[in-house]
Structure 1
Amino acid sequence: FSSFYVLSLLVFYTVCSSEKHSLHFKFTALSKADTFPEFSAGAVADDRQIKHYSNEERDWILTEDDWISAPEEPPDSRDWFLHQLNTLSNFYRECCSVIVELHVLQRMIGCELEKLPDGTVSLRAFDEYGFDGEDFMAFDSDTLQWIDKNPKAKETKMKCDQQTGRNQFLKHYLKNCINWISTFNNTRKSKPNVHIILRKAPNDQNKQVLICLTTGFYPRDIEMDIRFNKTVLKDQTSSGIRPNDDGSFQMRTSVEIDRSHEGIYDCSVIHSSLTEPVSEEWGKYHHKYIVHHSVCSN
């Protein structure tokens, strides 16, 4: 049984340890900007903002110096993007006879890579637009055509399809993005710090809440489970993966447990910075102590 368990754990760790990299340029334009800027843009690589657009300087500012080798931002300027928003806003005002005070145009262009445990590599490049919170259209670099994701985009799609020079350039830009991310090697890795905490359940004196907190890890992807005697517990509640101020990440998972259960609880964590899974235990000693302490404190 123990040999089977070790083998299963190693297989599970291998399956979960795929490597992902991404580069996303994100743009947003507002037709009516009272509180927010009418134009904002930024570049995010592997969950870190590496560039942002300064409306004051009308230029891109490098946020992370160690990403200086990243591909240049797309050539379309701030004024070009605002012009597209203005054109779309006027078109819907004329065709639909509907007056909307605020229109929002968004764009995300970039590429993604995933190295799977079996050695295969998945690559994706994209240029996608959204309008007023809905998918609008996307570029197909193989056909040099645009795909309308919304009936409202048909007119714009036909115009963009005719811009053959720009479409050729976009294909070249996305190819460069793929070439860059295929050779990219992010050497930054930070191991997770794992903590396990036991608290009283708020609504049931016979229950306690076991909390696993892991923090300080990088890159973002992580697997964490609360187990009882090496068996993963059901009905766990997760905070999801959240950013820390230093660019690393944290995650919190909790589950209600019975006070009367004897055994060993642990937090099992799998992360690419680790050569093997780590486990932080809440053993029998801790379990009995916290129950006694809780009873005496009532």
Structure 2
Amino acid sequence: MWLTALLILGVNLVYAERHSLQYFYTGSTGMADFPQFVALGMVDGKQIDYYDSVIGKNVLKQAWMEGTRDENSITDIRRGYQASFSNNVQILMERFNQTLGIHSFQLMYGCELDTDGTTRGYYQYGYDGEDFLSLDKSSLTWTAANPQAVITKVKWDSTRAKANQNKGYLENICIEWLQKYVGYGKDTLERKVSPQVSLLQKDPSSPVSCHATGFYPSEVKISWMKNGQDHDEDVDLGELIINEDGTFQRASTLNVKPEEWKKNKFSCEVEHKSKTIREILTEDKIKTNYAPFPIGIIIGVAVAVLLLIVIGVVGYKVYQKKKGFKPVNGKFFFISVS
């Protein structure tokens, strides 16, 4: 979800700062109780705004975004994409010989900026949770993921107008606005909050999890050691989850029997930009699940599931590979795949 490169030198964690601006658009059909079009933007993994076809206007999600741009213009742009996406869903249903069911057309695009000045950008389209088209900036062409996408690829490649416009946007306007947003939200986006680390176990015979929560930014490394040596076997790293307050949580589970960790010295190390925390695994330090499960985990999972529903609608697999962006200012193409 996921945006800082980690370089490990000895036992120290070195962070290469990276900022990102991402946008997700989803047009869908066949779901009566869900908006036919949803759009949202994110800066450094934090949602900054939201639009859907039911509310009909763009809504800011961060106080530091107030007054930074013309929200009426953003609403107009997203209404344009709403109409475009609705049309494209119908076109692709015909192209895939579909008449009924739940279907979706997705777009994600965005840019990233490292502190050393390195930039990246991407445009990717998906249909029904699968890759459809992606931009190759180096050749100014589009890569078709299936035969049905070739029709659109040929159309877009014929003039390269869309590829040129998208590349220029990603390399210039997107980076400019990313820098502005990071400046506006600096106190929030660049803050450092240390993780709270706990050793959790459902019952005496269950695996032990090293759970880190409440940390910001999201980059964290959780590792296990056995008798002073790195221990990578029988370890499962959980997904990164966002908490209700915007901080993050993650867990790493040690899948060894209690008799093994009781007769050896196991420890969990959590490395974060703010600090490094090491917990030695002993029975007296374990929190069991006999009491209600920690409420932070429950809230975090609920928020994560809700975000995935909003972004993916029907399970957007493309989202797992990259993240995307929405345009601000400049000239826009309301796309048509026909």
TM-score (normalised: structure 2): 0.66
The higher relative CO (CA closer than 8 Å, separation ≥ 6) is in 2
Alpha carbons 1:125, 1:178 under 8 Å: kept = no
1:177 aligned residue: 174
Task: Summarize the alignment of residues 225-236 of structure 1 with structure 2, pairs less than 5 Å apart.
Answer: 225-233=223-231, 234-236=233-235
Q: How much does 1:253 deviate?
A: 2.2
Task: Summarize the alignment of residues 136-175 of structure 1 with structure 2, pairs less than 5 Å apart.
Answer: 136-162=132-158, 165-175=161-171
- RMSD (CA atoms): 3.3
Distance 2:51 2:28 in 1: 15
2:85 aligned residue: 81
Specify the SS of the correspondent of 1:42: strand
Q: How much does 1:103 deviate?
A: 2.6
1:240 aligned residue: 239
Change (3 A) 1:146 1:253: closer
Structure 1, gaps ≥5 residues long: 1-8, 203-207, 291-298
Specify the SS of the correspondent of 1:86: helix
Q: How much does 1:57 deviate?
A: 4.1
Task: Summarize the alignment of residues 130-279 of structure 1 with structure 2, pairs less than 5 Å apart.
Answer: 130-162=126-158, 165-175=161-171, 176-181=173-178, 184=182, 186-197=189-200, 200-202=203-205, 209-233=207-231, 234-255=233-254, 256-259=256-259, 261-262=262-263, 264-274=265-275, 277-279=276-278
Q: How much does 1:224 deviate?
A: 0.9
Distance 2:106 2:264 in 1: 52
Q: How much does 1:187 deviate?
A: 1.3
1:105 aligns with 2:105: yes
What letter corresponds to residue 124 of structure 1 in structure 2?
A: R
Q: How much does 1:70 deviate?
A: 8.5
Q: How much does 1:41 deviate?
A: 1.3
Distance 1:13 1:262 in 2: 28
Report Cα offsets for 1:261-285 as digits up to 9, x if no partner.
44543221111222xx2212346x9
- Percentage identity across paired residues of the two chains: 27
Report Cα offsets for 1:52-97 as digits up to 9, x if no partner.
113234222111122455999677521122122222223444xxxx
What letter corresponds to residue 53 of structure 2 in structure 1?
A: N
1:45 aligned residue: 43
Specify the SS of the correspondent of 1:101: coil
Q: How much does 1:173 deviate?
A: 2.0
Alpha carbons 1:22, 1:112 under 8 Å: kept = yes
Q: How much does 1:241 deviate?
A: 1.7
Correspondence for 2:121 among 117, 125, 132? 125
TM-score (normalised: structure 1): 0.74
What letter corresponds to residue 192 of structure 1 in structure 2?
A: P
Q: How much does 1:167 deviate?
A: 4.2
Q: How much does 1:242 deviate?
A: 1.4
Alpha carbons 2:35, 2:54 under 8 Å: kept = no
Alpha carbons 1:209, 1:257 under 8 Å: kept = yes
